[in-house]
Amino acid sequence: MKPLLELKNIECQHRGHTVVQDMSCHINEGDLHCLLGPSGCGKTTALRAIAGFQPLHHGEIILNNERISYPGYTKAPEKRHIGMVFQDYALFPHMNVNQNISFGLRNKSEKEKQHTTDRMLEVVGLTGYGERYIHELSGGQQQRVALARALAPEPKLILLDEPFSNLDIEMRDRLSRDVRDILKSRGATGVLVTHDQHEAFSFGDMIAVMNNGQILQRDSAYNLYHSPINRFVADFIGQGVFIPGNLSAHDTVETSLGTIKGDRAYEWEEGTKVELLLRPDDIVADDNGSLEGIVIQKAFKGAEILYTLKLDQNIEVLSLFPSHYNHEIGEKVKLRLELDHMVAFRQA
């Protein structure tokens, strides 16, 4: 499949400082892609470069087989046929919902504008809200209007710059799923920038984890969690702790918790000192388990409780228990290791 969008070794600078460097990826038509990373990693700058608000110092951006950015040339944002949903929504307070949505529908008759606006209101679940003004809407409704306005001109690509960050957690989760469903139902191609991994997991077909202006790993949510390419990705995605060990075979690590045989082989020499990643779902409650831990912290999460446990080996680990296993601080619990996916890195 021919990519709709290609970034080829792009570099962006700000006041002489390199913000994005040697960044490459491609996005196929109909895919939803996420740029995920901590604040200041360059993800928003990359999105601005795609939109046409940020020039390139190296590389090129190709959209629908057209070079739209390269050093010395930046095609104007309004000519790129790209829709943009901003963090602050950027809606016009003096216009009603209908007028906001139809704002970008130039060269169309009033009848065509109204038809498109009505259709977009139906798509985003706001039928009947067209005459309301922005201050009369909730934050979630305003975000839906912003999405409707971006979709109305039927752009080739939708860019979303942390669009849910101003909402409460429950609304953020629900709206991110709704927006994904809306874009998927229309066969739209989208790029979401976020620092929230849960938002990225629920939205993206593919997720690019960024740091220091570079993509470190671009993969599915499942592979990012279970097969992180380096220590940064492992730390940034999900929760977990690292315990020291020694490689006794290409697929076996000796640790203070016992011998752990994994599902993958490492090419390092036997005896190599490694750090083994233990996720909360790798430590399982088991009344007959060979490990014992003391509860030192607990966080209730509804169906589950996340415990911080201190093991006899003076190692602290995280473990998810079903919520009916309600242990108190200081209580001892029995555990066992259940590593379906072994993740290890060489000790620095």
- Measuring CA to CA, which residue among 276, 215, 200, 194 is closest to residue 240? 276
Instruction: Please state, for a pLDDT cut of 70, what percent of the chain lies above it.
Output: 100
- Output phi, psi for 318, to 5 deg: -110, 145
Confidence category of residue 339, pLDDT binned at 50, 70, 90: confident
In 3D space, the residue among 210, 233, 272 whose CA is nearest the CA of residue 25 turns out to be: 210
pLDDT in tens, 29-67: 999 999 999 999 999 999 999 999 999 999 999 999 999
Question: Where exactly are the structural domains of the chain?
Answer: 3-235, 239-346
Residues shown for the chain? 348
Any idea what DSSP says for residue 344?
A: E
pTM of the model: 0.90
pLDDT of residue 314: 84
Among the listed residues 146, 48, 31, the one whose alpha carbon sits nearest the alpha carbon of residue 100: 146
Using an 8 Å Cβ cutoff, are 336 and 290 in contact?
yes
Give Dmax (Cα) for the chain.
75
Report, in angstroms and rounded to the nearest whole number, the Rg of the chain calculated over CA atoms: 24
The confidence score (pLDDT) of residue 29 equals: 94
Residue 290's identity, in one-letter code, is S
At 74 the pLDDT is 97
pLDDT digits (tens, 9 = 90+) for 63-122: 999 999 999 999 999 999 999 998 887 899 999 999 999 998 988 899 999 999 999 999
pLDDT in tens, 134-158: 999 998 899 999 999 999 999 999 9
CATH of domain 3-235: 3.40.50.300
Query: How does the average pLDDT of the chain come out, rounded?
Result: 93
- In angstroms, the CA 114 to CA 103 distance is 11
Residue 348 has pLDDT above 90, yes or no: no
User: Bridge partners of 206?
Assistant: 33
* Average pLDDT over every residue of 312-339: 92
Q: Does residue 1 have a pLDDT over 80?
A: no
- Name the fold adopted by 239-346: OB fold (Dihydrolipoamide Acetyltransferase, E2P) (2.40.50)
Predicted confidence band at 2 (pLDDT cuts at 50, 70, 90)? confident
The pLDDT tens digits for 243-276 are 999 999 999 999 999 899 888 889 999 999 999 9
Share of the chain above pLDDT 90, in %: 79
